[in-house]
Amino acid sequence: MDIEGIELLDVSKKYKNARAANAALSNVNLTILPGQYVGITGVNGSGKSTLVRLLNGLIQPGRGKVYVDGLDTSNPGHLPLIRRLVGVVFQNPDNQLLSPLVEEEIAFGLENLDLPLQEISRRIEWALQLVGLEAMKHHSPNLLSGGQKQKVALAAVLAMKPKYLVLDEPTSMLDTISRKELLDQLKTLHGEGMTIILSSHNPEDLVQADRIIVIDQGSIHLQGAPWEVYRQEAELAAIGLEPPGLYMLLSHLTRNEYSIDGGIKTTAELVQYICSRL
């Protein structure tokens, strides 16, 4: 029997020094199946970053286990394969790009996978095309904007053809336009079958997810479909989060006794819905 998916079994993680930047996790149980789009949210310091780093073995759980397609992340022998399956894009676009040329950045992971030169060249073309940056192939990353850098980082990960794509607050340092482009890109990738795990403290980023997991002080506080989670305004406010404006609007309308379709994800859809009822 083939075990597919990422599993966290009773995972706890404590840090020895009390530095606030590294948050602990306690007794987290989570399963992510292939093809899902999972959003993870929580305030800074809630444990989101710790959780994300457990998924590709960058961090080991203090207690409990993390399995990727049946492989144990605490087994060093499994890590190379796990990191081929799980690709991670991080928060700071600048601090992920380590090569002097965009083309080489994409090649970096591929060289590490020991692929033949021809395959490397092909994948570079393919990945840059996916993110629309073919023209930047021979440019230095220093010349790129924040949004473009993040796209290069994404392309560099996608070129390795991961099965699970994990993103740790990828939009937090981007401007509005770049943020939108990145989220649209993720939507497209998901449509093509990619498993997406997106962590963000901005609730707007997660409305496209199938499922949202809310973390507070190291444990899972709430989970469910976006509408289910975001309608719980009071619970979210208690832990320092706010639903997206649209969902607060839907909440208010429901309070006024109009049953609103929970499938509404954009303002355009809401407008359409209202017009259809008039």
Partner 1 sequence: MLPIINVTGLHYTYLPGTPYEREALKDINFSLQRGELLGVFGPNGSGKSTLVQHLNGLLYPTRGSVTVCAADTSDRQQRRELWKKVSLVFQYPEQQIFGTTVWEEIAYGPKNLGLDDAEINDRVKKAMQQVGLLPEDSAGIPPYSLSGGMKRRVAIAGLLAMDPEILILDEPMAGLDPAGRSLILDIIKHRHDNSQTTVMISHNLQDIMALADKVAILHQGSLVFFGAVSQLLKDKEILSRYHLELPDYLQVIYSLQQQGYMLNSAARSIAEAAKEMARLLGSKL
Partner 2 sequence: MVGIKLGQYVQGDSLLHSLDPRTKIICCALMVLGVLINPDWHLLIFYLLTTALAMKISGMDWHFASRSLRSIRYLLLITFAFQAVLTPGNPVFELGLLSVTREGLRLGSINLARLLILYFVSMVLLRTTSPFKLSAGIEALFLPLSKLKIPIHDFITILSISFRFIPTLIDQAVVIKNAQQSRGAQFDAPKLGIRLKSYLAILIPLFETSLSRAGDIGEAMDSRCYTGRPNQLRISRLHMKPLDLAIIVFLLLGSALGTFISLMG
In the complex, the residues that contact partner 2 under the rule CB under 8 A are 53, 56, 58, 80, 83-84, 87-88, 90, 92, 94-101, 103-104, 107-109, 111-114, 117, 120-121, 124, 140-142, 153, 156-157, 160
Q: CB under 5 to 8 A by kind: which of partner 2, partner 1, none does 35 bind?
A: none
Closest CB to partner 2 among residues 31, 95 = 95
Write the secondary structure of the chain as one string of H (helix), E (strand) and C (coil).
Answer: CCCCCEEEEEEEECCCCCCCCCCCEEEEEEEECCCCEEEEECCCCCCHHHHHHHCCCCCCCCEEEEEECCEECCCHHHHHHHHHHEEEECCCCHHHCCCCCHHHHHHHHHHHCCCCHHHHHHHHHHHHHHHCCHHHCCCCHHHCCHHHHHHHHHHHHHCCCCCEEEEECCCCCCCHHHHHHHHHHHHHHHHCCCEEEEECCCHHHHCCCCEEEEEECCEEEEEECHHHHHCCHHHHHHCCCCCCHHHHHHHHHHHCCCCCCCCCCCHHHHHHHHHHHC
Closest CB to partner 1 among residues 188, 254 = 254
Residues in contact with partner 1 by CB under 8 A are 19-21, 43-45, 91, 145-146, 172-173, 175-177, 201, 240-242, 244-246, 248-249, 252-253, 255-256, 258, 267-268, 270-271, 274-275, 277-278
Closest CB to partner 2 among residues 124, 182 = 124
Closest CB to partner 2 among residues 15, 108 = 108
Q: CB under 5 to 8 A by kind: which of partner 2, partner 1, none does 103 bind?
A: partner 2
